[in-house]
Structure 1
Amino acid sequence: MTLRRDPLLWALGLWSVLTVALLLSFHGDPRVLWTTQPPLDLACVWGSWQVQRAAVGPVRRFWRVLAAAMSLCLVGDTVQAIQLWTGASGVTAVAGPVQSAFTAVAQLAVTIVMLVHPAADQRGRVRLARWLDSATVLVGGGVVAWCFADGGAVTRAAAMVAAVTSFAAVKMVLSGNAPMHRLAALPMTAAVVVLCAGLAVPPTGWVLYTPVLASPLLVCGPRIQQALTRRARNPFGSRRRKPYSFAPYAAVSAVFAALVITLPAGASTRLWVAVLGAIAVVALVVARQLVSFQDNAALLDELRRQETRLRDQALYDGLTKLANRAHFHDSLAASLADGPAALVLVDLDHFKTVNDTMGHAAGDALLVEVAARLRTAVPEKKFVARLGGDEFAVLLPGATVLEADAVAERILAQLARPVALMHQDAVVVQCSIGVAFGSDMAELLTNADIAMYAAKDQGRATWVRYTPSLGHRIRRTAELAARLKEALNAEQFSLVYQPIVHLETGTSTGAETLLRWDAGPDVGTVPPSEFIPIAEESGLIVPIGRWVLRSALEQLASWRLAHPAAGSMRIGVNVAGRQLREPGFAAEVRQALLDTGLPGPSLIIEVTETALLDDAVAIETLYALRELGVTLALDDFGTAASSLGLILTCPMTGLKLDRSFVENVTTASRPRAVARAVSQIAATLNLSTVAEGIETAEQAEVLRSMGYRFGQGYLYSRPVPAADYAQRWLTGAPEPASLR
């Protein structure tokens, strides 16, 4: 509903028309005027009280005092009307002592609250300038009121009081922090002007029409402010102060006008020339000052624009126009000071692929589109930021679990829609989202980050809410990652060896090298299934793998020198995909073989299928290794999706059947069928085969009958240290019971 259709504003207008009509009908009877005042006072009290309920701080104080002041006026006007109708004070337009007293107290209260209302800018010079401008209005208004007020000393005193009230009002308006909107201030200012004009009219006859106009205008102010409070973004008067105000110049003009009008009729020409000259000089000085003000204002505007640009550069991301990391941290700290909040971290999956394949311009366009979709998915007035690269954050102050989960779901849905980039084919954006709750900034950021990486671990394109158990697991991972950096220097790694056995003869033809990590008495032995993924993710697998490779070859060389049975033995080393992608890996292997004096075929490099999927660099490295004569085995064969394709595209020389097929080969038909098929494929492609995880003689016999020549598992030996391996498999000595 607009102000033009507001029913109360229309009612005030009709009330004024009705009052004028009654005054005309009853020939200006004062009882009509005073009878129509209390309803207007009541409307003003109600409107002011409603506004103060929606305001805070000094603004609420102003409207609360105004409501109290109008309540005093309501009592005074009601008493005045009763006295007129009962004949207690005679039929007169002049206010009685009760009404005058209540009105004076009300005016005093409003004047005081306007004087103490704080300004937006509290700097000393600005405060001094504001007081000087207000004092100019006070002096000018007082002079004009004294010169033109009619009715003797009482009327002049009332005029001076009006001047003081005007001074307080001007000070409040010039503060740049007025407690009301400009639209609400206009009718209230007009009411004051009408009342002041009435002071210059003899208090008889049609002077009664002055409050008829002023009272409805005064009531319009609270009503307009009440309406704006409900629907305006900035309903009150806080705004940037202008570099100068016309109010002091208007006061100066009014004083000069009063001077000219009050000059005696017989004033000499010399006096007139002096007066008019003074007016002209002051007018020229004022004009010059206004020109300077305009120049200064233009300069200040330019400085403010520069300040705005610098602030935007400091607080917002130049590409997406979202808040940057610094702004986000400041806003997060401010929000948490008021209470707990929810944090949603969003990380784009495989964004680097877009940059690498489509160009950085396409990547930038994608980030801009992602920012726009985040704004759509996040509730209005919630904080969205780009933390850097392809990572975004959403701050949800006071959000519940359901609300935060819903935001995460909407973000996934928005980003799942294809995005057309730079006139190229559309791409589908996937993201991993972490959600966390808390009131401590460091803990909240850490927990959201933990949840986000947990989402990546779950396959990406999903969201995860932080839980304490999740935090414990991730913190252990982080602790192990930190300890891994020192493990090599601290000599915490060791190697064990599991024999690879010929299924027909039961003799060992080689051994697979396995890594073990003793992280100290406070942590203990960490299983490879836990620390190997951490090493691969952090890149530490490269130096660790380099140490394993060289140590294993040195051990094999040592065995060959000490044990004739090791003359034809081969050593297997597991290599991660990260190592194969490392530049110069094949050269490192070549140098290690040269340093240990071993031929290429004595080394078996075992790689998993997942390490080779869609990795041209890794496959190229395998070809370089084959040129060195190194044996290449595809480890854990049968567990990935592209096994058959890999054995055709990679220069593999052998396959190692995964233990998941071996453990049920004697009891289930499907694992047995897969094991037989793998053996047949290997035979057709002239590849050697090793069955992993053999634990029973029955399994070994079934696999041998299928064509498998080699096997390894607990049936033959657990992984053991080098000395134990040599004792059992290279010297022919009886195997210790602990190794069986």
Structure 2
Amino acid sequence: MRPFESLRRDPVLLTLIGITLVGCGLFFVFAGDSSLQTQIYWATQVPLDAALALGGWRLRGLAHTRYRRFWSMIGFAGASFTLGDSYQFLHTVLAPGIPSMSGGMVQTVFFAVGMTSNVIACLIFPQGLRTRRERFVFWLDATTVLVGGGVVAWCFAFNPISSVHVDRTNASVTAALVLVATFSATKVALIRNPPMARIAAWPMVSAAMIQGVSTFLPGDFQSTEHAYVFVIRLLPSVCIAVGPWIQVVLLRIGAVQDEPKRRPYSLLPYGMIAVTFVVFFMMLPDTATSQLVGATAGVVVITCLVAGRQLVAFHDNMQLIERLDQANAVDGLTLLANRTHFTEEIPRLLTRQSSMLHIDLDDFKEINDTMGHAAGDTLLIEVADRLRAAVRPGDLISRQGGDEFAILLPGAGPDDAALIADEILRQLAVPLDVRQHTVVTRASIGIAPALPGDEASALLSMADIAMYEAKRRGKSMWVHYTDDMGARVSAEAVLIREMSQAIENNEFMLVYQPIVRLADERLTGVESLIRWNHPTRGLVSPVEFIPLAERTGQIVTIGLWALGEACRQGAAWRREHPEAQNMSVGVNVAGRQLRTPGFVADVAAVLATTGLPAGNLTIEVTETAVLDDEESHEAMVGLRALGVKLALDDFGTAASSLGLLLTCPVTSLKLDRSFVESITTVGRQSAVATAVSQMASALDFASVAEGIETVEQRDLIKKLGYQYGQGYLYSKPVAPELIVEQWAAARV
């Protein structure tokens, strides 16, 4: 609303409107006195012309430097109009004669000079046309309008519509200049990066249109006996005067003009030829043959120009259709075949034994997360180029989406496919610079055999299975598909489907493994462990279903259930057994859970619902789950703010354990069982266990050793300074009622 409010309050615009209203009012007050009305008409024209000149000069300094020449010529046009109309006003006052709004020879010359200046300003203005073709089309349209204006002017010069017109030369000049000005002003209003906002340009466009209409209105609309004729003829001057001042106001308040989304002025040539033919045929019955030569020649020329424009449009349409076809077949970023086109081409190319490759870039998400999606796009384009360099002519490469690619190798058996896969890995391994960073790209590749008649979806599925097997084996390698892989994936698919119903069917259960204080071997806490009591398979090991749950995202739902069940059980123990008042209940949480929005709020809600104090809950996370992960770190800080304890589980198995100790707000370290099992026989295991204990003590962390199974291990762990122990020496994971029995046995 601000631009419109500023326009309504601008003193110059209000003055121009006031002058216009006063002039129009005087036309009606002195109706019947044509001489006085004509004098008022020319007197009112002068300040409007001066406003145009002053506005153009003002914008010459306010607007961008590339618009300076444009506004200088507009200001010059206003000055020409001012001089011509001032002369005509003085002439009507000092030497009154037959009232006329057409002006005499002097006024006509100044009008022609000013209008020509306007037209030149519009035509030489930087058009924003980037290519030779765009410039050719524009000037083809411009020539069409110019020739059409000339034909119309020629016709009116020999046979004007109204008998009131006595000056055919003046009428023809006015016709030509007004038509050309209409085109030029419309161009300025609608081209890319115009010199003035559309709200300012349209009044000037309207001025040229009104001028043309008012010049050729027949009959009573040309007679000075009617007051409204003066109003109609004054309107163009008002519109052309207010345009620059609207632009001045917009620049002063910093309003931003929108770039037009389309350019309707390309339709002008077709409208111009319609006007030309209408006027030509109107003149035809009453015009001598000799006078039709010029008009006929102009009509022929404009017809040829529009025909040429149609040929250009036809060519453009054909190119557009080709681009649309290409867009439907090509990935927009890499220019490789897209998934749809790739699938359609497989039956045509699959005429003999062949191979299908499925390629997935390793750790591509880290590029997007650390360097941004623009860097990721740059990398994908480079990968596409390297894939082209690695395959043979005739091989079909496609981008399946994201960082996944598929390649059909017609006629390539397993050995040839392996050689090409090796070449792809070699090409990708060459370092490349992405946004001033050196990146080494790795990929996992699955290879599947392809035979004529195979379904594209089946081939892609087999290659995809092999690709995931390559990732499972360590990434940056290729793997051939085997039937065993397919069987395993099918079995996993069934397990995933059944797992989605396990919570509703109450198939999950928790068991608890005691954690004892090594000083007196009293029970101080438990770690809750999930089990799946499958109705037909029996107990399914977490090793089987937890990785699948993490991969599919079901771990979030399963983990929330386990958290609620463990807290419920811990709260029940505290209510029923005095020994459980300070007992800690440990719950394992996956990295995907930590990164789930609202996880901290879910924990707080579970604690509030179950009544378990936050200090009695220990969230156990692995090092890999929180490695260089901002979302996980924020979640852990939020958990500590609740009062929940945090344990770094399986400590010592990841590469960045020491760095994590400085950033993660953990309260205890749990030494991984792999360091405990050989601690009494392998010196290095004992050294690592010693270092972990010393770090925990120095950082004021609690220390827990997992996997204690023998007395010798317990004694050595205790000697190394560990505070707590956990393992089969004390108890296997048991049902909650057996935890109660351990308290009872301890009291005996």
* TM-based fold match above 0.5: yes
For 1:353, the equivalent position in structure 2 comes to 366
Measure, in 2, the Cα distance between the counterparts of 1:694 and 1:710: 10
The amino acid of 2:440's aligned partner reads V
1:328 counterpart (342, 352, 368):
342
1:391 counterpart (391, 401, 404):
404
For 1:601, the equivalent position in structure 2 comes to 615
- Are residues 1:455 and 2:470 paired? yes
The amino acid of 1:548's aligned partner reads A
- What is the 5 A alignment of 1:285-304? 304=318
Q: Aligned residue pairs: how many?
A: 441
- What is the 5 A alignment of 1:117-132? none
Measure, in 2, the Cα distance between the counterparts of 1:709 and 1:316: 63
1:654 positional shift = 1.1
Post-superposition CA distance 1:266-315 (Å, at most 9, x none): xxxxxxxxxxxxxxxxxxxxxxxxxxx99999998666544432321222
Measure, in 2, the Cα distance between the counterparts of 1:340 and 1:565: 71
- Are residues 1:512 and 2:527 paired? yes
Change (3 A) 1:296 1:640: closer
- What is the 5 A alignment of 1:45-124? none
The answer to whether the Cα contact below 8 Å between 2:568 and 2:612 also exists between their aligned partners in 1 is no
Measure, in 1, the Cα distance between the counterparts of 2:703 and 2:641: 21
Measure, in 2, the Cα distance between the counterparts of 1:673 and 1:690: 16
Measure, in 2, the Cα distance between the counterparts of 1:503 and 1:295: 93
Give SS of 1:489's match: coil
1:665 positional shift = 1.6
Give SS of 2:464's match: helix
The amino acid of 1:345's aligned partner reads H
- What is the 5 A alignment of 1:632-643? 632-643=646-657
For 2:503, the equivalent position in structure 1 comes to 488
- Are residues 1:367 and 2:380 paired? yes
The amino acid of 2:468's aligned partner reads Y
For 1:219, the equivalent position in structure 2 comes to none
The answer to whether the Cα contact below 8 Å between 1:566 and 1:730 also exists between their aligned partners in 2 is no
1:717 counterpart (719, 731, 742):
731
The answer to whether the Cα contact below 8 Å between 1:418 and 1:426 also exists between their aligned partners in 2 is yes
Give SS of 1:695's match: coil
- What is the 5 A alignment of 1:239-638? 304-336=318-350, 338-421=351-434, 424-439=436-451, 440-441=454-455, 442-521=457-536, 523-638=537-652
Change (3 A) 1:483 1:333: farther
Measure, in 2, the Cα distance between the counterparts of 1:530 and 1:673: 33
Larger Rg: 1
For 1:647, the equivalent position in structure 2 comes to 661
Post-superposition CA distance 1:588-644 (Å, at most 9, x none): 222222222222211111111111211122122222212222121111111111222
For 1:667, the equivalent position in structure 2 comes to 681
The amino acid of 2:613's aligned partner reads P
Measure, in 2, the Cα distance between the counterparts of 1:314 and 1:721: 60
Measure, in 1, the Cα distance between the counterparts of 2:568 and 2:418: 55
Post-superposition CA distance 1:500-552 (Å, at most 9, x none): 1122322211111000012330x332211221122122221111111111110
The amino acid of 1:635's aligned partner reads D
Measure, in 2, the Cα distance between the counterparts of 1:730 and 1:568: 17
Give SS of 1:515's match: strand
Change (3 A) 1:433 1:630: same
Measure, in 2, the Cα distance between the counterparts of 1:683 and 1:651: 15
Measure, in 1, the Cα distance between the counterparts of 2:674 and 2:378: 46
1:316 positional shift = 1.7
Give SS of 1:486's match: coil
The answer to whether the Cα contact below 8 Å between 2:361 and 2:403 also exists between their aligned partners in 1 is yes
The answer to whether the Cα contact below 8 Å between 1:565 and 1:731 also exists between their aligned partners in 2 is no
Change (3 A) 1:538 1:458: same
| TM-score w.r.t. length of structure 2 | 0.56
The answer to whether the Cα contact below 8 Å between 2:355 and 2:448 also exists between their aligned partners in 1 is yes
The amino acid of 2:584's aligned partner reads R
Measure, in 2, the Cα distance between the counterparts of 1:587 and 1:301: 62
The amino acid of 2:347's aligned partner reads A
The amino acid of 1:354's aligned partner reads I
The answer to whether the Cα contact below 8 Å between 1:563 and 1:730 also exists between their aligned partners in 2 is no
Give SS of 1:716's match: coil
Measure, in 2, the Cα distance between the counterparts of 1:670 and 1:429: 35
| TM-score w.r.t. length of structure 1 | 0.56
The answer to whether the Cα contact below 8 Å between 2:360 and 2:404 also exists between their aligned partners in 1 is yes
1:727 positional shift = 2.5
1:363 positional shift = 2.9
**Structure 2 gaps, min length 5:** 1-306
The amino acid of 2:432's aligned partner reads V
Give SS of 1:411's match: helix
Change (3 A) 1:465 1:617: same
Give SS of 2:670's match: strand
The amino acid of 1:576's aligned partner reads A
1:733 positional shift = 8.7
Give SS of 1:646's match: helix
RMSD, aligned α-carbons = 2.6
Change (3 A) 1:679 1:434: same
Change (3 A) 1:630 1:382: same
Change (3 A) 1:358 1:675: closer
The amino acid of 2:702's aligned partner reads S
The amino acid of 2:414's aligned partner reads V
The answer to whether the Cα contact below 8 Å between 1:559 and 1:566 also exists between their aligned partners in 2 is yes
- What is the 5 A alignment of 1:148-187? none
Measure, in 1, the Cα distance between the counterparts of 2:369 and 2:713: 49
The answer to whether the Cα contact below 8 Å between 1:436 and 1:465 also exists between their aligned partners in 2 is yes
Change (3 A) 1:421 1:680: closer
Give SS of 1:318's match: coil
Measure, in 1, the Cα distance between the counterparts of 2:360 and 2:422: 14
The answer to whether the Cα contact below 8 Å between 1:658 and 1:691 also exists between their aligned partners in 2 is yes
Give SS of 2:418's match: helix
The answer to whether the Cα contact below 8 Å between 1:323 and 1:385 also exists between their aligned partners in 2 is yes
Change (3 A) 1:587 1:299: closer
**Structure 1 gaps, min length 5:** 1-292, 735-740
For 1:708, the equivalent position in structure 2 comes to 722
Measure, in 2, the Cα distance between the counterparts of 1:658 and 1:630: 22
User: Percent same amino acid among aligned pairs?
Assistant: 51
For 1:698, the equivalent position in structure 2 comes to 712
1:437 positional shift = 0.6
Measure, in 1, the Cα distance between the counterparts of 2:674 and 2:524: 23
Change (3 A) 1:684 1:358: closer
Give SS of 2:624's match: helix
The answer to whether the Cα contact below 8 Å between 2:353 and 2:413 also exists between their aligned partners in 1 is no
Give SS of 1:487's match: coil
Change (3 A) 1:295 1:707: closer
Give SS of 1:635's match: strand
